[in-house]
């Protein structure tokens, strides 16, 4: 159990966790509100993708990894910057770790406030879109609206490839758009929830695929505000360069070097 003094060390980092590089979209927003905060960005590239795994697999993996990371790095706060991991394992992680935990949930509430046609699309992984958590968000915030969901898991690989500087077939984005548009009522979609932290990294490509008149919404800015609120008044000091932490050593890490540097992550380690 971490003591109060440990949490309040000025160089105690924020730990942002995702299955891959998607959470960099959250980190970018955190940097805007907490530029002085030391950060560890942890990517479970050894377990990617999460969207095709069972709930039990995701829960066990996320709880186990975050337990090890909390013990080793003593973060002041952990952000699960992954919709799939949050919708499945957030409660369990909060039960086992004595650290403030911020999760990521599909931005259905702001989307419901933004839509003018009343028809909202939601792109997520297969694991995310089938969760009861999403059903409850829809029931609470999107009453009277139509919410159409599509499992666009291949966008995760597209985002990872893009950040490695590799070309991505535009057909990937066309399939995601068609997956929503081709459903009954899909032609009326004017707002799309990007319910995976990888997907905002592809906003330009998705906007082109959907065409004009569609706005996109994700939860990154709201997550950053929540982290700022929970750490308000705490001292921040970066005594060492921010860290990118991976769970598997592979060739893709070298290809990500420029992306990590651009995100302010100066060091790379493998857990």
Catalytically annotated residues: 82, 196
What's the CA gap between 152 and 128, in Å, rounded? 10
* CA–CA distances in Å: residue 190 to residues 83, 134, 186, 194, 195: 22, 19, 9, 13, 16
What's the CA gap between 255 and 48, in Å, rounded? 17
**Could you tell me if 106 and 124 are in contact, meaning their C-beta atoms sit under 8 angstroms apart?**
yes
Q: How far apart are the first and last CA of the chain?
A: 21
Count CA atoms within 13 Å of residue 87 on its CB side: 27
Residues 6+ apart with CB under 8 A from 248: 45, 46, 270
The beta strands (E) that lie in 54-145 are given as 77-80, 101-102, 119-124
Residue located via tokens 């609120």:
229
What's the CA gap between 149 and 192, in Å, rounded? 10
What's the CA gap between 90 and 17, in Å, rounded? 12
**Could you tell me if 11 and 69 are in contact, meaning their C-beta atoms sit under 8 angstroms apart?**
no
């Amino acid at each position: 159990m971490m003591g109060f003094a440990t949490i309040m060390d000025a160089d105690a980092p924020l730990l942002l966790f995702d299955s891959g590089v998607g959470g960099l979209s959250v980190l970018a927003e955190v940097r805007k509100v907490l530029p002085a905060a030391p950060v560890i960005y942890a990517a479970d590239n050894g377990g990617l993708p999460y969207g095709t795994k069972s709930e039990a697999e995701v829960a066990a993996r996320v709880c186990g990894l975050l337990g090890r990371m909390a013990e080793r790095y003593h973060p002041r706060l952990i952000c699960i910057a992954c919709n799939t991991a949050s919708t499945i394992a957030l409660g369990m992680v909060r039960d086992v770790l004595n650290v403030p935990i911020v999760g990521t949930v599909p931005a259905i509430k702001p989307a419901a406030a933004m839509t003018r046609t009343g028809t909202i699309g939601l792109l997520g992984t297969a694991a995310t879109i089938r969760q009861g958590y999403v059903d409850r968000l829809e029931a609470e915030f999107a009453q009277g609206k139509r919410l159409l969901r599509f499992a666009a898991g291949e966008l995760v690989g597209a985002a990872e490839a893009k950040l490695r500087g590799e070309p991505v077939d535009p057909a990937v984005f066309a399939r995601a758009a068609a997956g929503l548009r081709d459903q009954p009522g899909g032609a009326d979609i004017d707002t799309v929830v990007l319910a995976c932290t990888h997907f905002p990294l592809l906003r330009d490509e998705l906007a082109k695929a959907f065409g004009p008149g569609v706005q996109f919404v994700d939860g990154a800015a709201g997550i950053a505000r929540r982290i700022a609120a929970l750490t308000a008044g705490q001292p921040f000091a970066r005594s060492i360069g921010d860290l990118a932490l991976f769970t598997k050593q592979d060739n893709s890490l070298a290809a990500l070097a420029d992306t990590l540097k651009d995100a302010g992550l100066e060091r790379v380690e493998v857990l």
